[in-house]
């Protein structure tokens, strides 16, 4: 076999394997009139004209891109202003911007952990946290989802001096909120640092939308806080918030911070506007919460098996992968987009429709979704 054939064979095998498991992923350009129940624009800020205008104005003022990394010449006043605003919002000394949440998690773990570090993660943590731990070379253990006894047992058995417990704040595929208080207690009892990735909590939960950690837990309790800007804040990028010593350390040692072009300043300008709206206009959160309550009430009435979630993430567990694809396709025919989430993103046997709600949705939109879900149910019972 030639080298070329060998590579061809490898790609073909991987494809055949994935397709046989109904796990082949495809992208779909979203038609403009599609009702989107899959995205993470929970407050509608990605479509708020004030945020778009701040982005346009930022581009006119600072240019289309940063032109260099933060440590070279890409770091502008607008980045400083955003970092200060994020730090004050989350009650931390400092914050540091990253280009994406994925890069923030990789960068934090690589800068904090090495082969002498022991990392303990919830089994359902986001892929970027799992990848970050692997890349750091740390000794990694995963505890059962939100199971503090399991975590405690693993911590007890560790003789590492540097222990790091990591959890999503809001679990991205389940909508569950982590018990931060319990994580703080267990971590402190075993001299471990606690890192929370609140990608789906910031903007939604807590005082002024500062998340499930934000103003409630101080950096003594949760020393490492990660938030992302591409979800409820409607723009793009991420931040790490904590004490000055942590942030200084990341600026020195976090390779995914150092060796990449700075966040476009126009995005930073738009994010400042989005943050101002999140802090000053609680009505968007109120509308979102009313939508969540309405959807749950009606869906449970239809007998749909929703998971126990009070967040905008409302998964409908269908278990079987081909069934999940069938329902998603049927919804799409009716102009409704939901996420069809299959392993390896979720555990085997737990394929689901990931339905997300937003303050952009009106009651009529939710009624359309419910009617379409009801149609799927009816077809199955034929
Ligand atoms: C989306 C997400 C990320 C990645 O953030 P991006 O900015 O999209 O790269 C990280 N962690 C969690 C928990 C997420 O849900």
Active-site residue set: 172, 200, 231
Is residue 296 reached through a cis peptide bond, with omega within 30 degrees of 0 on the bond before it? no
pLDDT at 62: 97
Question: Could you tell me which of 347, 340, 345 has the C-alpha nearest to residue 323?
Answer: 340
pLDDT at 318: 94
345 appears as a binding residue in the annotation = yes
pLDDT at 4: 80
CATH, domain range 63-280: 3.40.640.10
Tell me if 356 CB under 6 Å of ligand 1.
Answer: no
Under 8 Å between Cβ of 156 and 187: no
Residue having the nearest C-alpha atom to atom 10 of ligand 1: 101
Tell me if 168 CB under 6 Å of ligand 1.
Answer: yes
Give me ligand 1 centre to Cα 132, in Å.
12
Residue having the nearest C-alpha atom to atom 14 of ligand 1: 199
**Per-run averaged pLDDT (10 residues), the chain, 382 residues:** 88 95 84 91 98 98 97 96 98 98 98 98 96 97 97 97 98 96 98 98 96 94 98 98 98 98 98 98 98 97 93 96 94 95 89 97 98 94 72
Domain 25-45+282-381 classified CATH 3.90.1150.10? yes
Query: Is residue 148 within a helix (H) or strand (E), and if so which, with residue range?
Result: helix 148-157
Token output for 255: 């390779």
381 appears as a binding residue in the annotation = no
Tell me if 167 CB under 6 Å of ligand 1.
Answer: no
Half-sphere exposure of 344 (CA within 13 A, CB side): 4
Distance CA 323, CA 153 (A): 38
Distance CA 168, CA 170 (A): 5
Question: Could you tell me which of 107, 89, 87 has the C-alpha nearest to residue 99?
Answer: 107
Domain coordinates of the chain in residue numbers? 25-45+282-381, 63-280
Tell me if 311 CB under 6 Å of ligand 1.
Answer: no
């Amino acid at each position: 076999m030639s080298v070329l054939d060998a590579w061809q064979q490898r790609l073909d095998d991987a494809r055949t394997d994935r397709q046989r498991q109904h796990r082949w992923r495809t992208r779909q350009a979203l038609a403009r009139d599609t009702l989107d129940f899959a995205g993470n624009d929970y407050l509608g800020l990605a479509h708020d004209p004030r945020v778009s205008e701040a982005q346009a104005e930022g581009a006119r003022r600072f240019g289309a891109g940063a032109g260099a990394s933060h440590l070279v010449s890409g770091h502008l006043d607008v980045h400083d202003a955003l970092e200060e605003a994020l730090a004050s919002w989350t009650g931390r000394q400092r914050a540091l911007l990253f280009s994406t949440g994925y890069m923030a998690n990789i960068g934090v773990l690589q800068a904090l952990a090495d082969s002498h570090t022991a990392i303990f993660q919830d089994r359902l943590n986001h892929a970027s946290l799992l990848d970050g731990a692997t890349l750091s070379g740390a000794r990694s253990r995963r505890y059962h989802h939100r199971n503090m006894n399991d975590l405690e047992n693993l911590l007890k058995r560790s003789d590492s001096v540097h222990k790091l417990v990591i959890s999503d704040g809001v679990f991205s595929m389940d909508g569950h909120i982590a018990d931060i208080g319990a994580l703080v207690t267990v971590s402190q009892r075993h001299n471990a640092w606690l890192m929370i990735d609140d990608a789906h909590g910031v903007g939604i939960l807590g005082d002024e939308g500062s998340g499930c950690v934000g103003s409630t837990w101080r950096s003594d309790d949760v020393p490492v806080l990660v938030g992302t800007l591409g979800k409820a804040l409607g723009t793009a990028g991420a931040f790490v918030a904590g004490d000055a010593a942590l942030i200084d350390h990341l600026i020195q040692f976090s390779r995914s911070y150092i060796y990449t072009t700075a966040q476009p300043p126009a995005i930073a300008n738009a994010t400042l506007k989005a943050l101002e709206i999140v802090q000053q206009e609680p009505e968007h959160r109120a509308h979102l919460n009313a939508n969540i309550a309405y959807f749950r009430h009606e869906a449970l009435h239809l007998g749909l098996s929703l998971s126990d979630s009070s967040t905008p993430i409302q998964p409908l567990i269908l278990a079987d992968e081909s069934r999940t694809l069938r329902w998603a396709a049927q919804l799409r025919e009716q102009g409704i987009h939901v996420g069809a989430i299959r392993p390896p993103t979720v555990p085997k046997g737990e394929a689901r429709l990931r339905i997300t709600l937003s303050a952009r949705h009106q009651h009529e939109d939710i009624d359309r979704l419910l009617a379409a879900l009801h149609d799927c149910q009816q077809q199955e019972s034929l």
